Structure 1
Amino acid sequence: MNASTSHLVLIPSYNPGPRVCDTVRAARTQWAPVWVVVDGSTDGTAEGLQDMAANDPHLKVLVLPENGGKGAAVLHGLDLAIQQGFTHALTMDSDGQHPADLIPAFMAASQRAPGAMVLGKPVFDADAPALRVQGRKISNGWANLETLWAGIGDSLYGFRVYPIDPLRQVMRGQRWMRRFDFDPEAVVRLCWRGVRPINLPAPVKYLRADEGGVSHFNYLRDNTLLTWMHLRLMLGFLLRLPLLLLRRLNTHRSNTP
């Protein structure tokens, strides 16, 4: 187990089913501390997680009274983390889709480049839903356009390490990024602030219902949310385009012998 006073694992959780305990145990074997933000869950998992935390000083469980969305849960954890001196947070889903065994490698990459964000680039297995695999290519294309091709490997995969301070500033500066739009909007807006992406491959599992998989993704609702998000981001991109071009030119000059 790796332990850190600067980097923590932050797991937002909403009605994930019983697999959440396995997810948290797997994360704890790889890292300390691990924080879970229970986002108004009604499936009884909060109580089980609190029982785990009672016997583990490196596990903290934060319980929110109402469901506010993934981004809102992450922001709640970030606010408390920065108060306790943490500088970086690795976010991962609570339902067993993300590879806990890669936590040390992602944290090490972040520690080598603390000003960057370390993004998981998903490696799909044969059971991944084709519609979701193909659909995310659209979001990835928009995200790279909106950042002038800053190098975002995947805009939607939530297994990633963020520098806490710039992410909090981005989120506190506007009212969005509180639900399913959190992951893609976070990488775009952080790129706008000059936080460069580092992409690392990471497998992703899409678990069937009989395997304990739980999905809260709603194609109509969440794709509508993503469409509205990209419309806003494109407007922001056009307004920032001169600055982004100037930054790219300066970077090119500094890298030219």
Structure 2
Amino acid sequence: MSTVLVITPTYNERDTLPGIVGRIRAAVPAAHVLVVDDNSPDGTGLVADRLAAELDRVHVLHRERKEGLGAAYLAGFRWGLARGFDALVEIDADGSHPPERLPALLDAAERADLVIGSRWVPGGRVANWPRRRELLSRLANRYVRAALRLPVADATGGFRVYRAAALEKILLDGVESRGYCFQVDLTLRAVRHGCAVAEVPITFVDRTSGASKMSAGVLVEALWRVTLWALRIRTRDIHAPTRSARRAGRAAARRSPRPAAARAARWRRSVSAGR
């Protein structure tokens, strides 16, 4: 990838942000980093501004209020697409996602439209998680995979690389998910639009400082949205083109020249009719 933007949303990540930015820059020195801060009350935005002033290729996008992970990433995607980046990366600011695996994800993105740093493929694992939380994540991903017929082991994983062309294809303006269900939403859209998806094993390390943003409300949103999507597509092939893709295909067919055989048959009919 020639130009890479690593997007890290923040909300009260003052203590962990400098370390994660340093690790990203060490792993991929040529990459740009965009901190998307949702007006953190702990002063994370000020820390981000200081990093941007001291370091090249570090940028800050300040948002007025906290609107969820999905809204923050959408804002970051639009910022990056408007500036012509070839690859856009999602990564948490709490250190759970290992920046040292970024080169492997970017290498896979040379052949795939979406690359997920996966906990649940061979070689992937989690560290410092309670057994109950690991079981919950495994079961949630199995439910998502079965309900939506997704060929992905870790559809909820948030360490990702998107090719810019893929993000433009999957119609970001229609994304309504705001919590962690956002990751499932974009995975589903990518598969339905025919994007190539790859998974690279990572070790997910539970945060050592700060508070997790996971809540009962986030889990409820994910459950009802996935169930609703499953009900909508249960009678259709998940890989079928979207309605807009079908319309575009029909329009292209109408514009295309008729085959030579059809033109020859028309010519023979006109000759036989004495025209």
Please give the TM-score of this superposition, normalised by the length of structure 2.
0.78
Shift of 1:134: 0.9
* Structure 1 unaligned residues grouped into runs of 5+: 246-257
Is contact 1:116-1:197 (8 Å) kept? yes
Deviation string 1:47-104 (CA, Å, 9 cap, x unpaired) is 0111011021211111111111111111111111111111321111001111011111
Q: Using the TM superposition, name which of 178-187 and 120-129 deviates more.
A: 120-129
Shift of 1:131: 2.0
Question: Residues 188 and 146 of structure 1: is their aligned pair in 2 closer, same or farther, counting only changes over 3 Å?
Answer: farther
SS in 2 for 1:232: helix
Mapping 1:165-204, distance limit 5 Å:
165-168=165-168, 170=170, 172-204=172-204
Amino acid at match of 2:174: Q
What is the RMSD computed on CA atoms of the aligned residues?
A: 2.1
Is contact 2:7-2:34 (8 Å) kept? yes
Please give the TM-score of this superposition, normalised by the length of structure 1.
0.83
Map of 2:219 onto structure 1: 223
SS in 2 for 1:73: helix
Is contact 1:40-1:68 (8 Å) kept? no
Is contact 1:143-1:188 (8 Å) kept? no
> How far apart in 2 are the matches of 1:160 and 1:97?
13
Map of 1:255 onto structure 2: none
Shift of 1:165: 4.0
SS in 2 for 1:241: coil
Map of 1:164 onto structure 2: 164
SS in 1 for 2:9: strand
Is contact 1:72-1:178 (8 Å) kept? yes
Amino acid at match of 2:188: V
Shift of 1:171: 5.3
Is contact 1:53-1:60 (8 Å) kept? yes
> How far apart in 1 are the matches of 2:24 and 2:127?
25
Map of 2:211 onto structure 1: 214
Rg larger for:
2
Is contact 2:12-2:210 (8 Å) kept? no
Question: Residues 146 and 194 of structure 1: is their aligned pair in 2 closer, same or farther, counting only changes over 3 Å?
Answer: farther
| Count of aligned pairs between the two proteins | 235
Question: Residues 91 and 196 of structure 1: is their aligned pair in 2 closer, same or farther, counting only changes over 3 Å?
Answer: same
Deviation string 1:196-229 (CA, Å, 9 cap, x unpaired) is 321111011113xxx42421111x2122111111
The 4+ residue runs of structure 1 with deviation greater than 6 A are none
SS in 1 for 2:23: helix
> How far apart in 2 are the matches of 1:41 and 1:121?
29
Alignment pair present for 1:28 and 2:29: no
Mapping 1:49-88, distance limit 5 Å:
49-88=48-87
Map of 1:102 onto structure 2: 101
Amino acid at match of 1:140: N
Is contact 2:36-2:76 (8 Å) kept? yes
Is contact 2:118-2:157 (8 Å) kept? yes
